[in-house]
Structure 1
């Protein structure tokens, strides 16, 4: 299975509230989250524009995570704090380069 990345772009003047809202919802709940990692980023060139980059083992694990009640609840609350609707990018990972040299002895 190929890894999968979801990028969510959103605009808000209430980023502190979104950050506070997101902390517990990422790992709390009745079902375990399926993401590998989350990166939150601010656009340097467009103040008030943010990105959440979420990495999953597969598209299927991303859909499993989306179906968690905690994820749905967070998405609704986050949308209420945004200045417009978020934009979702759903990406199948084709290849990656970690930038780290591997040990030739291994």
Structure 2
């Protein structure tokens, strides 16, 4: 799997959402390898999109289509400033990656020295699911320099906030503290989703 993260400030939220609907209806059906996407805005107008493709090659093939380029140019015109793109070939899924029925999504961006440790933590889902039934799943996208983007799907925000108070075991707490040091959290209160 390949994930591309798209991030930038946008105060024209209704227009961008309408553009996303246009993509789904007009371009999505012919985007080879498209698996899905998770999108939303933070309270301070940061747009975050996490788009999943079967492979980097198919994602780049899609980007090269003239109709996709034209759509992307129109989307960029809605943004308030520069847009960041992060391409990740190293992707780990937790509990099938999430659910389009999630009522709240949290995107966490940070950097780790030992990505294998973070991937191992995500692989141990039995304990997590018992402690946090509000978590529907997650994706972890890693860049070559250890920068990560974790996208966590929750049933709803109230359950997620309540779940935050659950104390994990000491070793997990220590590992999480190391991973999350310096990380940035993006809360998507009204996420929307696309699936192939």
Mark yes or no: TM-score above 0.5: yes
Q: Distance in 2 between matches of 1:52 and 1:69?
A: 21
Larger radius of gyration: 2
More helix by share: 2
TM-score (normalizing by structure 1): 0.79
| 2:23 paired residue number | 25
Note the 1:30-41 alignment, pairs <5 A: 32-34=30-32, 35-41=34-40
What stretches of structure 1 of length at least 5 have no aligned partner?
Answer: 102-106
Aligned-pair CA distance for 1:27: 4.3
Partner of 2:7: 9
Q: 1:25 touches 1:70 (CA, 8 Å); kept in 2? A: no
Q: Which residue of 2 aligns with 1:64?
A: 61
After the TM superposition, which segments of 4 or more aligned residues of structure 1 sit over 4 Å from their partners? none
Q: Residue 42 of structure 1 contacts residue 48 of structure 1 at CA under 8 Å; is this kept in 2?
A: yes
- What is the root-mean-square deviation of aligned Cα atoms in Å? 2.0
User: So what's the TM-score if we normalise by structure 2?
Assistant: 0.45
Q: Which has the higher contact order (CA 8 A, sep 6+)?
A: 1
